[in-house]
Chains A and B, each alone.
Chain A
Amino acid sequence: AQKVTQAQTEISVVEKEDVTLDCVYETRDTTYYLFWYKQPPSGELVFLIRRNSFDEQNEISGRYSWNFQKSTSSFNFTITASQVVDSAVYFCVRGDSWGKLQFGAGTQVVVTP
């Protein structure tokens, strides 16, 4: 199986600090898709961002930004000026061309006031 590795199990920060989540993926495909999902304590998986393998442009969306480096198979995600509501488990996900998603193990983010 082509794995998605999130090496950080848990990250604890104080409100207003920045948080960067690491993600490394394996792939044999030329075309693939990368996502970040958030799972708050309520349990619902919330879609955050998506990147296609042929587009390495890094962007900022509000307090979220991501760094896609195809050469190192990494797709890191940053939350700027964290808030308590950002406390959740964050999943890095790789998708193939048939819609099959491979989830990482998740990183628990704890933001304290």
Chain B
Amino acid sequence: EAGVAQSPRYKIIEKRQSVAFWCNPISGHATLYWYQQILGQGPKLLIQFQNNGVVDDSQLPKDRFSAERLKGVDSTLKIQPAKLEDSAVYLCASSKLAGNTDTQYFGPGTRLTVL
């Protein structure tokens, strides 16, 4: 079974530019998560989708971050405009079911550097 796919793996941009990340979850997984992991810290949840609806986006900085999951499968996370403090690894995860803490499986992440 294929795992969670993410692209690109690495991205370097200047501050105030925009960037987008893509995630393809494990086939059949209803729930998709985006996390931000700053160097030396544990991942922090940004947004949780169940199918194509948002379950929790309370930690998403909505003035600059946006995410969508059209058709309940793939998802994109966008940052516009980027700030220096957005430098981090962005991890996508998926789980089969929602609400009962079914195990989340993570992708390889996208490492973002903002200069």
Contacts and interface: CB of A to CB of B under 8 A. Distances in A.
B89 interface: yes
Contact of B103 (A35, A100, A103): A35
A42 interface: yes
Interface in B97-114: 98-109, 111
Interface in A74-113: 91, 93, 95-101, 103-106
A44 B106 contact: yes
Number of chain B interface residues as a range: 20 to 34
A99 B42 contact: no
Contact of B107 (A4, A32, A44, A106): A44
Given A43-B111, A44-B106, A45-B106, A100 B100 contact: no
A100 B56 contact: yes
Interface in B63-115: 89, 91, 93, 95, 98-109, 111
A35 B106 CA distance: 13
A8 to B, nearest CB: 14
A98 B107 contact: no
Contacts, number: 62
A78 to B, nearest CB: 20
Contacts of A100: 45, 48, 56
Nearest to A92: B42
Interface of B: 31, 33, 40-45, 48, 55-56, 89, 91, 93, 95, 98-109, 111
Q: Which 9 A-B pairs give the minimum distances between C-beta atoms?
A: A103-B42, A45-B106, A95-B101, A33-B101, A44-B108, A43-B109, A99-B101, A103-B43, A91-B42
Interface of A: 4, 32-33, 35, 37, 42-47, 50, 91, 93, 95-101, 103-106
22 contacts: A32-B101, A35-B103, A43-B89, A43-B111, A44-B108, A45-B93, A46-B106, A50-B103, A91-B42, A93-B42, A97-B99, A97-B100, A97-B101, A98-B56, A98-B99, A99-B33, A99-B48, A99-B99, A99-B100, A101-B45, A105-B41, A106-B42
